[in-house]
Amino acid sequence: MIARQLVVRGVVQGVGYRAALVAEARRLGVAGWVRNRPDGAVEAHVIGEADAVEALVGWARLGPRLAAVSNVEVSETTPDGSVAFTVER
C-alpha cells in the first residue's frame, strides 16, 4: 500500500471534479478523501495499491469533462487509515 497527497489546480471547483474523483477512486478500489480548498484548488489523500494509486493520479491530471486542470502536485505521504473514499467538507 502507498499513499499520495494531491493538490489539483485549475478550473476544478464547481465542475464536478470531486464527485468524478470519488467515482474513479471507488472504481479503482482506492481509499482516501477529497476536498475543496479555500484557494480554489482541490486536495486529495489517496491510499491503495501502487498501480491503482498511480492510475488515479493519471486520471487527476485530466479530470472530468468540464474541468481544466493546470497542475497536479503529488507528494508521498503516510496512509491515514481511510478504508473508503469520501468527500470531506
In whole angstroms, what is the distance from residue 32 CA to residue 80 CA?
8
Catalytic residue among 18, 26, 61, 71, which? Answer: 18
Count other Cβ atoms within 10 Å, centred on residue 63.
22
Grid cell of 2 as nine digits: 502507498
By DSSP bridging, strand 31-36 and strand 85-87 are parallel
First to last CA, the chain: 25
Is 26 labeled as catalytic in the residue annotation? no
Catalytic residue among 4, 27, 36, 65, which? Answer: 36
> Which sequence positions are flagged as catalytic?
18, 36
